[in-house]
Structure 1
Amino acid sequence: MSATPPRIAVLGSFMQACCWSVDRLPRPGETLRARGFVAEAAGKGLAVAVGCHRLGARVDLLMAIGNDAPADSLLSWLHGEGLDTRRILRCGQPSGHGAGFIGADGDNQIVVHPGANEALGPDQIAAAEEDIASAALLYAQLEVPLDTVRAALARARAHGVLAVLNPSPWQALPDDVLACTDVLVVNAGEAQALLECALPAGRDQRLRAIASALPALWRRWPGNWLVVTLGDQGSAAWSRDGAHHVAAPIPTRIVKTIGAGDAFSAGLCRALAGGRSMAAALETAGACAAWSIAHPGILASLPDRDGLRAMLRTGA
Structure 2
Amino acid sequence: MTNNNRAFVIGSYVAGCIANAARMPERGETILAQSFLLQPGGKGFNLMAGLHRLGAAVDGILPVGDDLWGCIAPALMTQIGLPTSWLMPIPGPSGGAVGLVDGQGENVISVFPGANARLSPDHVASLHGQLTKARIVAAQCEVQPRAIAQAFAMARDAGITTVFNPSPWQGGVCDLLRLADIVIVNWGEARQIAGELGVLWPPDQDTASLPLLAAAAHGLGVEHLIVTQGAGGAICFPAGQDAIHQPAFPTVPVDTIGAGDGFSAGLIAALLDDLPMADALRQAAACGSLVCRGVGVIDYLPDRAEVEALLRVWPG
TM bucket (normalised to shorter chain) is over 0.9
Q: Match for residue 73 of structure 2?
A: 74
Q: TM-score, normalised by structure 1?
A: 0.92
* Equivalence for 2:218: 218
Is 1:263 the counterpart of 2:236? The answer is no
Take 2:171 and 2:66, find their aligned partners in 1: how far apart are those partners? Answer: 31
Q: Is the 8 A contact 2:4 2:134 kept in 1?
A: no
Aligned residue in 2 for 1:50:
49
Higher mean C-alpha deviation, range 19-28 or range 136-145 = 19-28
Matched letter for residue 110 of structure 2 = V
* CA spacing shift, 1:145–1:285, aligned 2, 3 Å: same
The one-letter amino acid of 1:107's match is: E
Gaps of 5+ in 1: none
Distance 2:177 2:31 in 1: 42
Q: Counterpart of 1:146? A: 145
Distance apart, 1:255 and its partner CA: 1.0
Given the alignment of the two structures, is residue 34 of structure 1 paired with residue 37 of structure 2, yes or no?
no
SS of 1:232's partner is helix
| Preserved contact between residue 21 and residue 35 of structure 2 (Cα < 8 Å) | yes
Q: State the Cα deviation string for residues 96-125 of structure 1 (Å, max 9, x = none).
A: 111111111111121111111122111121
Shift of 1:137: 0.3
**What secondary structure is seen at the aligned counterpart in 1 of 2:254?**
coil
Deviations 1:222-266 (A, max 9, x none): 120001101001111001112321111110221110010000011
Moved more, 101-110 or 280-289: 101-110
Mark the CA change 1:226 to 1:300 in structure 2 (over 3 Å): closer, same or farther: same
SS of the counterpart of 2:298? coil
Which ranges in structure 2 are unaligned for 5 or more consecutive residues? none
**Segment of structure 1 superposing worse, 278-287 or 56-65:** 56-65
- Counterpart of 2:212, as a letter, is S
Task: For 1:160-171, list aligned pairs within 5 A.
Answer: 160-171=159-170
What does the per-residue CA deviation read over 1:161-185, in whole Å, with 9 as the maximum and x for residues that have no partner?
A: 1100000111234564222110110
Shift of 1:72: 3.7
Taking the aligned partners of 1:33 and 1:161, their CA distance within structure 2 comes to: 48
Paired AA for residue 125 in structure 2: A
Q: Look up the SS of the partner of 1:281 in the other structure.
A: helix
Q: 1:128 to 1:3 in 2, by over 3 A?
A: closer
1:141-177 Cα deviation digits (max 9, x unpaired): 0100111011011111111111000001112345642
Cα distance change, pair 234–175 in 1 and its aligned pair in 2 (3 A): closer
- Cα gap change, 1:296 to 1:307, in 2 (>3 Å): farther
Identity of aligned residues (%): 34
Change (3 A) 1:32 1:312: same
- Following superposition, the deviation at residue 94 of structure 1 comes to 1.7
Residue in structure 1 matched with residue 209 of structure 2 by the alignment: 209
Aligned Cα root-mean-square deviation (Å):
1.8
* Structure 1 residue 190, shift from structure 2 partner: 0.7
Alignment partners' CA distance in 1, 2:30 and 2:174: 43
Q: How many residues align?
A: 311
* Secondary structure in 2 matching 1:143: coil
